[in-house]
Structure 1
Amino acid sequence: MTTATTATTATAVTTRTVEYPADGLTMIGHLAVPAGAGRAPAVLVGPEGPGLSDVDRRRADALAGAGYVALAFDLHGGRWFADPDEMLARCMPLLADPERLRDIGHAALAVLRAEPRTDPDRIAAVGYGTGGAVGLELGRDGVDLRAIATVNALTTGRPGESARIRCPVWAGVGSEDPIMPPAQRAAFTAEMQAAGVDWRLVVYGGALHAFHHPLAGRSPLPGVGHHPRHAQRAWRDVVDLLTECVPVTG
């Protein structure tokens, strides 16, 4: 792993890029560290299928401003896919292979844990789309997380493995998301319930897939679109989950 300091904000949040190997690629993540000297709770921030963008970096920065160490992790070796066909060609095999998703998650988790400011016993995962699937697979792999939040990623796992999830799971989805339709929601919630997981699902009325992402309105894919009001609500719901399950103290 290599690091390079790239910026220090006016609120004393320090950010830097981190390079690390995963999935046969050199991943380029964005680490944001809050002001102070003691250990702090930490959050993995996973991006949508096209890859890590400034939207995810700003989310990590906002969490650091609230007192969390936050790593916005990479999915594609520094690439961001503007072409939907290229994105799907990369993401669909990933989503079909839980072990690859877990490897990407574990590699990012190792970077986050290696940060001296991180409290290794207080880590949560927040993810969107493919990044949300990574967080869920870490949970299904038995990783000791304090919370998992997933938006647009109501992915189901292999039989029985969700019983290994050791923390609350919050999920958000748009009511009009054709990629996560009612049948998929039902399968996901049935899996969580059968596994005895402490789960919640919020359905945002009228929202499409990737409703949380400002660039979604430019996507040529059908069923994808930005919903600014619900995007703000989903973010507040994520922050509320973190406040409940892995609060910043001191």
Structure 2
Amino acid sequence: MSVGQDVTYTVDELTMVGHLARPDGDGPWPAVLIGHDGVGLDAYQRRRADILADHGYVTFAMDFHGGRTYFGEPEAMLDRTMPLLGDPGRMLAIGRTALDILLAVPGVDHRRLGALGFGAGGRIVLELACGGAAFAAIALIHPALPPAALAEHWASVTGAFLLCTGSEDPLCTPAQLLTFGTVLQEAGVDWRVDVFGGAQHAFWAVEASAEGTAGPVATVPGVGYHADAARRAWDSVLRHFLDEMPPLGS
């Protein structure tokens, strides 16, 4: 049985409210850092942390919006997120602060470290990976990609990448992920791409649909909930972490 709690910390001149979930027992445990998408740290990503803890991973879902979410506020979300995506130093500072919190949890096995990033949070995970974070497994759901990805930036990365997107995603297209995968391959990095047919951007985000129910997401064009893609992507994430950094006793 896992235990979850909010963790308040300061970075980027904001008070962040992350979510830490731990398996029952003393460990040692593998660990996963979660980066939320541009909308904010919502119930879905908090629940991913809890589920991963149930599977035997200490998990910290970072916050990079100061405790805010931006459902139904696309302009406010972009005003916060786009300057951040244009500043690798800020992203790296936000990510490292969250990663330090995760690694300081008693019982964490630093040799079995993973990361899961959604949208803008995927870009923060990427900055950490090319900045030297020793991730054994990295899973990215429709990530924001670097504007100029060069093979030499990824030469020191040793973790295996899972890259997921929807076939109809206009913001993170399958072609963009395949191009990025080619860069990773040139750097000697293990990678694969999962494409979910008929899915748009943020296909997992049931909370963003009307009144939190399953259905079309009424925010911006190209964004929509897709139940099958959400389920299949999550199954792929669990399998990826299990294959690349198996929990203790597995």
| Aligned residue in 2 for 1:51 | 40
Looking at structure 1, the residues matched to 175 and 113 of structure 2 have their Cα atoms a distance apart, in angstroms, of 31
Looking at structure 2, the residues matched to 219 and 191 of structure 1 have their Cα atoms a distance apart, in angstroms, of 35
| Aligned residue in 1 for 2:91 | 101
| Aligned residue in 2 for 1:6 | none
After superposition, the C-alpha distances for 1:71-113 in whole angstroms (9 at most, x for unaligned) are: 1110111111120001011111112222221111101100001
Looking at structure 2, the residues matched to 57 and 186 of structure 1 have their Cα atoms a distance apart, in angstroms, of 29
Looking at structure 2, the residues matched to 182 and 70 of structure 1 have their Cα atoms a distance apart, in angstroms, of 28
| Aligned residue in 2 for 1:16 | 5
Looking at structure 2, the residues matched to 104 and 36 of structure 1 have their Cα atoms a distance apart, in angstroms, of 29
Looking at structure 1, the residues matched to 24 and 4 of structure 2 have their Cα atoms a distance apart, in angstroms, of 11
Q: Is the CA contact 2:165–2:174 (under 8 Å) kept in the aligned structure 1?
A: no
1:76-91 pair list within 5 angstroms = 76-82=65-71, 83-91=73-81
How does the TM-score come out when normalised to structure 2? Answer: 0.91
| Aligned residue in 2 for 1:247 | 246
| Aligned residue in 2 for 1:174 | 166
Q: Shift in Å at residue 124 of structure 1?
A: 0.4
| Aligned residue in 2 for 1:37 | 26
Q: Once superposed, what is the RMSD of the aligned Cα atoms?
A: 1.4
Q: Shift in Å at residue 14 of structure 1?
A: 1.2
Q: Structure 1 segments of 4 or more deviating over 2 A?
A: 156-160, 181-187, 215-219
| Aligned residue in 2 for 1:5 | none
1:21-170 pair list within 5 angstroms = 21-82=10-71, 83-153=73-143, 155-156=145-146, 158-159=149-150, 160-170=152-162
Question: In the superposition, relative to structure 1, how do residues 236 and 56 fare at CA in structure 2: closer, same or farther (>3 Å)?
Answer: same
Identity of aligned residues (%): 44
**Matching residue within 177, 188, 200 for 1:208:** 200
Looking at structure 2, the residues matched to 57 and 39 of structure 1 have their Cα atoms a distance apart, in angstroms, of 22
Number of matched residues? 239
Which amino acid in structure 2 is aligned with residue 93 of structure 1? P
Q: Which runs of 5+ in 1 are unaligned?
A: 1-10
Which amino acid in structure 1 is aligned with residue 219 of structure 2? P
Which amino acid in structure 2 is aligned with residue 27 of structure 1? M
How does the TM-score come out when normalised to structure 1? Answer: 0.91
Looking at structure 1, the residues matched to 43 and 109 of structure 2 have their Cα atoms a distance apart, in angstroms, of 25
Looking at structure 2, the residues matched to 53 and 186 of structure 1 have their Cα atoms a distance apart, in angstroms, of 29
After superposition, the C-alpha distances for 1:106-164 in whole angstroms (9 at most, x for unaligned) are: 01100001111211221100111111111111111121111111001151355321222
Looking at structure 1, the residues matched to 68 and 33 of structure 2 have their Cα atoms a distance apart, in angstroms, of 19
